[in-house]
Every structure is written in C-alpha cells, then in structure tokens.
Structure 1
Amino acid sequence: MAAWSTRQIPDQHGRTAVVTGANSGLGLVTATELARHGAQVVLAVRNVAAGARAAALIGDAVPRARTEVRELDLASLSSVRTFAKELTADHPAVDLLVNNAGLVLLGPAHTTADGFELHLGTNMLGHFALTGLLLGTLARADAPRVVGLSSITHKNARLDFDDLMSQRAYDAARAYGRSKLATTVFGLELDRRLRAAGSRITSVLAHPGLSRSNLTPRAWEHRGRAGRIVARGGLLLTQPAERGALPQLFAATAPGVRGGQFFGPSGPWELRGDVTEVRPSAEAAAPATGRRLWTAAENLTGVTYL
C-alpha cells in the first residue's frame, strides 16, 4: 500500500475510543491522533496522575480535544470489572477499543493481583477480560473495532499450555514474547468468533516494529554489559513512537479494514517502515491454538463470551 500517515485518518467526530495505556509512548500518540480527528478519547490508565498529565499534553496539542481519564489496572480483574461497569454506565456505545497497554518487567517473576504471571496477566488476560466485558457496549456502535497490539517478538515465541504462567525456568524476555503471542492468538480467534456470531465488531491486530517506545530493547538491559551494548545499538534500527503508532492507528481508523488483518512496518524484518499488512506466525494463526487459548482464558478470568 502507499505510504499512510495520520493526515489520512477519517473524521472521528461522534465516535468514542478507549485506549489502554494511553499515558505514554504508543498509547499517548494514538490517543492524541484520535482526539485530533474528533474522537472522544478515554485514557484507560493504571496511574491516574500520569493519565491526567497525558490528557494535559493532548489538550496542549489539540485545544478542543475531548478526553477523560479513567483508572484501569489490567493486572487486577477487579479493576477491569470496575472500569468496564463504570464505562458502560457512562457510555452507551463504544466505537473503538485499542488494547495498547503492555509491560515487560525484567528480573525475577512477578504475578498479578489474581496470581497470573505478570506479562501474560497484563498484556493478554487483562485485555481478554476487558474486551469481553465491553462487547455489548461495542456492539451498540455503528462500526466498532477492537485493535490488539502484538509485537514482532511473537514470531519467536511458543505457548506451553502445560506452563502458561512460565513457572519453569522463568525468563522475563521469553515470558514477554509468550504474552504477545497470546495477544495475537486472542485477536485472531476473536475475529473468527465474531464472524461466526454474525457480529458487526471487527477484530484486527497491529505491531509497531522496533519503536523507541517499544519494550523489547529493555529486555536486553538486564543481560549485563553485552546486553546493554545490544540494546543501545538497537536504537539505530528504531523508529520514533509517532511512526511506531501508525500501524495501530491504521488498524483503528482506515476504511476497508477487514477482521483478522494484521498491520506492521514494511521494512526488513518488520522493524520499521511504512504501514503494510503483515503475517502472524503459524502458531498464532492456527485455529486449534486459538480455541485452546480461549478456553484457558475463560477459565482463568471467569469472563465468558462468544
């Protein structure tokens, strides 16, 4: 496709968008551009003070921006349920859900409030629960979309259904990659189930390549001096967050986007470049993997849908 930029985002007036992790990096760029084009943007953030600062930055860039800050801790199913309940009460319909938030925490393993491995619990299971709880609200919109944020790291990851919480031989970078593979599997399985149900909701995926706000280079920092050299050298391959956010903005707003599509950078190894359609890994695209992960996610979160 021809080079795409934020200037091509259609008018978003009358649309309500929820962006998780909107206080910094890709999420802040995404929220800013959606607001710039007229959307009412809900900044769903763990740290409300940081969210308020982000809303102020958006207001400086877009004087007539319509934003609101709401607390959402994806590492707590209780927080996810509270957020979804309150949002639904205040917004009869949500047009766009951008499941942008993510983390990589280096060093020893950590768990969520519900006992899940922190990467899987935050990056995938929290978003799985959130999407399910908002599905009815999304269904009331005219052309609703759910955008999942994947990563190039998903292509080298493998899911271990006997050890989803990475309790054996824990490695933070590997756990992060698995969580992004799970996110990709979820987005594609959601598309299959939405189609089967005859839903108007579109589920699509995007990844930012190697962005300066991307978390992947941080996974090298704890590997000692050699890891720090690799991480710093990797900056030469990165693109700024403003370009890293283009695939998810395209997925969220471009006309003609179809369910199940996946967008990322066009350059070598999908590290940087213009927006193009990319392919998920074979494991991510396998329907059997999707069904198995979906069942596990329902059992773990208690959220059942489709």
Structure 2
Amino acid sequence: MSASDLSSRTVLVTGATSGIGFETARQLAERGATVLVHGRTPEEAQAATDKLIATAGIDAGQLCGAAADFTHLEEVEAMARRVVAEHPHLDVLVNNAGIAAPEQHTLTADGNEIALQVNFLAHYLLTCLLEPALTTDPGGRVVNVSSSLHRTASIQWSDPQRARRYSRLAAYAQSQLALTVFAADPRVTAVSVHPGVCETELLSLYAISGTPAAEGAAHVVRLCDPATEIVNGAYYDCDQRIEPAQAATEDRTVKRLSKLADQLTGHTT
C-alpha cells in the first residue's frame, strides 16, 4: 500500500460534521478510505455526508453516517453497538469531537461536567466498546485529537466535575489532558495530536486567528496512515513528535484515570 492509498481502510471520525473532523473525513475519503461520519444526530451526519458527496465528489459508497449525542452516554453505547455490528473490522478511530466548556458550570444528564464528558469520557467509553471491531493488525490505531492546552491542566481527582471551583478554560484543559493520558493506556494502540490553532468553533480558546481547518486535519490524517509508524502513547504537535506533559506518561496516572473513567461512565471491563 502506498502512503497515498487508504482504500482498504475503514475509519470512524467523531465530530465529523464541521471543522477539523469534517476536513479529516474529506481527506481520508479522497484517499480512498471508507469513512464513518459521526454527528450528534442522524440528520447532522447525513447532511455532512451529503456535503462531502456534493462538494468533494466523494463516492457515496465510501461514506456511512453514525449518530450519537455525546452528552448522553447511552447514545454512545448504542452507536458503538451499531458500529461493531455493521463494521466488524475498524482500522482507525479518530476521537475528534469536542466542545469548549461553557461559561457556567454545566452537568450532563449523566452527572458529568459537560466538557469532561464530551471531550473525554464519551471517547473513552466509545473506544472501550469498539474494542471488538478495532483491528489488532499492523496499522490499526486510535488517534486522539488533543490540544497543547493539556500542558496547562491538572486532573482534579477529588473533584473531577469541578463543582467546587469552576473555570471554563481549566475544565477544557482538564478534558484535553485526560484525552492525552488515555492515549498511553496499554489496552489500545493510540496517539494524541495537537493539530495546531485552527479556524474552528474552539478558536476563541486559543487566539483570534488560526490556520484553515484543512491544515489541522492533514496532521490527523497523517497519523491515520499505516505508513506512519507510531509508538503507543506518543504525542504530536502538528507533525512533530514531542514529549507531552509529564502526567500524560505516568503509569500511575494512566491507571488512575482509567479507574475514574470506568466509574464515571459505568463501564466495566
């Protein structure tokens, strides 16, 4: 397989209806991959696939919609069951969906701080539930779209929901640190990547201007390519592998986070 040919690959991209996720889905499909396009609702997922067909000339046979609102963990579970049933061989999972934490402390119906759940816990649960489908063949992997802001974060173990002291930036950064730590979980072959500061709905957290989302997506797509060799837990800033925050590579932190995530999602191994 050449580096430009992904025609034998099946990839699920979360948060694929806009921004980096949409551009990641487009670039993967343009290189031949079958792409599961995730949206919060079936209608949003269908609209994204229709746009890919109309604007990028993607073959409809390469695209499949997948829907789940990540503020409801039961929807994540239902989507995972459908994916395993319909796509028993999944080469890559791109955990991309994300939101900026709101100004006011907000809990989901599951009782979790909303940024922690959407940006990390839902992806943790999805990854665990997709294990039967995620291939162990060479090149199979999970790509977590994280953030350089993980370096500013700490996980509040005694108050992960940040009920006692809430800051939207700290809540967002905590979710990104958790996602980066999760890449080092030995149960999965995974990397995390900061795709750069891009013109997306999250731009206000970083700067007043950014690069096009397609440029950030290119860094994600490179890590989806089996020609790109990876080391479990590696962290990339755009296309450069660098060391993440120290906490992201500590075995104790990885194990502690896994235990916390299992508790908060109700997942049992």
Normalised to the residue count of structure 1, the TM-score between the two structures is 0.82
Correspondent of 1:302 among 263, 266, 269: 266
Alignment check: 8 A CA contact 1:120 1:176 kept: yes
Structure 2 equivalent of residue 224 of structure 1 = none
- 2:20 aligns to what? 26
Q: Specify the alignment match of 2:59 in structure 1.
A: 64
Partner residue of 1:12 out of 6, 10, 24 = 6
Percent identity among equivalent residues?
A: 34
SS in 2 for 1:182: helix
Q: In 1, Cα distance between the equivalents of 2:3 and 2:192? A: 17
User: Contact (CA 8 Å) 1:106, 1:219: kept in 2 or not?
Assistant: no
Residue aligning to 2:241: 277
- Asked if residue 207 in structure 1 is aligned to residue 194 in structure 2, the reply is yes
- Once the two structures are superposed, the pairs formed by residues 1-306 of structure 1 within 5 Å of their partners are 9-60=3-54, 61-65=56-60, 66-139=62-135, 143-188=139-184, 190=185, 193-194=186-187, 202-213=189-200, 215=202, 217-219=203-205, 231=207, 234-235=208-209, 238-255=210-227, 256-265=229-238, 275-305=239-269
Q: CA deviation at 1:258?
A: 2.5
Structure 2 unpaired stretches of 5+: none
Structure 1 gap ranges (5+): 1-7, 195-200, 221-230, 266-274
- Higher percent of residues as helix: 1
Aligned length: 265
Q: Is the 8 A contact 1:43 1:51 kept in 2?
A: yes
Following the alignment from structure 1 to structure 2, what is the Cα–Cα distance between the partners of residues 286 and 81?
Answer: 29
Larger Rg: 1
The one-letter amino acid paired with 2:216 is G
Distance 1:46 1:92 in 2: 22
CA contact (8 A) 2:146 2:179 kept: yes
Deviations along 1:85-115, whole A, 9 cap, x unmatched? 1111111211110001000132111112211
Runs of 4+ in 1 over 6 A off after TM superposition: none
In the alignment, what sits opposite 1:4?
A: none
| 2: CA distance, partners of 1:52 / 1:116 | 28
The 8 Å contact of residues 32 and 62 in structure 1, kept in 2 or not, is answered as no
Q: TM-score by structure 2 length? A: 0.92
* Alignment RMSD (CA, Å): 1.8
Q: Which amino acid aligns with 1:295?
A: K
